[in-house]
Amino acid sequence: MAAERLRLLTFSTLYPNPAQPNHGVFVENRLRHLLASGQAESTVLAPVPWFPGHWPAGRAVPAERVGHGIRVLHPRFLGPPGIGLWANVWTLHRAARAVLRRLLAEGLRPQAIDAHYLYPDGVAAVWLGQEFGLPVVITGRGSDTSQLPNYRIPGRLIRQAIAGSAALIAVSAALKEGLVALGAPPEKVTVLRNGVDLALFRPPADRAAARAALGLEGPTLLSVGLLIPRKGHRLIIEALRGLPEHRLLIAGEGPERGALEAQIARLGLGGRVRLLGARPHAELPALYGAADALVLASAREGWANVLLEAMACGTPAIASPAWGSREAIAAPEAGLVLADDSPGSIAAGVRALFAAPPCRAATRAYAEGFGWEATTEGQLALFRRVLREGSALPQAPTRKGPKGPCVL
């Protein structure tokens, strides 16, 4: 007899919306493949921050929509600038609580909460789970494990959420080590790596035409990600000083754009570096396929999806030694992992890769071992185990919200 279909509530502020179509697309992708199995269904609760004069994009996001056949709810939560790190967890919980009450009143009761990112999302999810009697599975993804726990209040709440969750998912083995260091019992953490959509990300039918369409001549590097300091775009630009024959494309948008433009001008690299802005997800395969190598210089990553996406298009990757990089790049045909993320190390890595580049067909073949099937099977098994065991919800210490307007 077929197993009963899982009923989940996927909860995350990291989820695409009409104003930010690429925001948290990795959460959406994992969910889409899970639901495609036919063994699970989910409603998505993806709150968006709002604050007068600071989050105008929120007005372009509907309160409810259907995306890829999935019902997605976008309640607003107050996101005061400057103190959001400390205040958002309470305003996020309040907004999500009201929507969950409405769903329950409609008769839509999930069996479990599928939460992504430990803070503030995972913390708020555990509070919801404790109030409504729902087990919570939290996926840790990177800086929520490596950086945010270093702050006093977020760190305390993250450790409480780890204790109060029914299970934890880490997107890499290195990330699991970080969760264990924060107090998670090793048996509570399941490693389920991100996958890659092998149908979407594939080598171009005519690579020469793809390069010509972008006006590419000579060896070309590609960097993909938000224009924020953590992504290390400035380091790759600096490395280009030692790579006089190479050009660089940067796909992404963010608050560091002005600083990067100034750096490019200061170094006289205007003819060799192009800032492409944010690109729709469907356009990325053409960029990956046209480039000769992807460079990821992130300071922190749980498992960078761009690595597998590039490889699936036949393009090898050069990555900083962030969490997950050595797991994603585990063979010469995949590319190489740098000793550090300095400009000198990046330049040396590029020279080494281009001196003996892997066959692009071999790079694609390597990526084919990272489809979503194993991750989907792992999620199904984990959620079924959590429900089978009854998930006697561990009782985390009673939370104390701020008195008044979140003054901490």
- Are the C-beta atoms of residues 302 and 324 closer than 8 Å to each other? yes
Say what the pLDDT of residue 201 is: 96
Say what the pLDDT of residue 393 is: 44
Express each pLDDT in 316-346 by its tens digit: 999 999 777 888 999 999 999 999 999 999 9
Whether domain 207-369 has CATH 2.115.10.20: no
406 vs 61 pLDDT, higher one: 61
Whether domain 6-195+373-388 has CATH 3.40.50.300: no
For 288, residues 6+ apart whose C-beta sits below 8 A from its C-beta are 201, 222, 294, 309, 310, 312, 313, 315
Q: What is the mean pLDDT of residues 300-324?
A: 89
Say what the pLDDT of residue 404 is: 32
Say what the pLDDT of residue 55 is: 55
Q: What is the mean pLDDT of residues 263-268?
A: 98
Express each pLDDT in 69-117 by its tens digit: 999 999 999 988 878 788 899 999 999 999 999 999 999 999 999 999 9
Residue ranges of the chain assigned to CATH 3.40.50.2000: 6-195+373-388, 207-369
Express each pLDDT in 54-63 by its tens digit: 654 556 899 9
pTM, whole model, 2 decimals? 0.85
Q: What is the mean pLDDT of residues 108-132?
A: 97
Lowest mean pLDDT among 119-123, 171-175, 235-239: 171-175
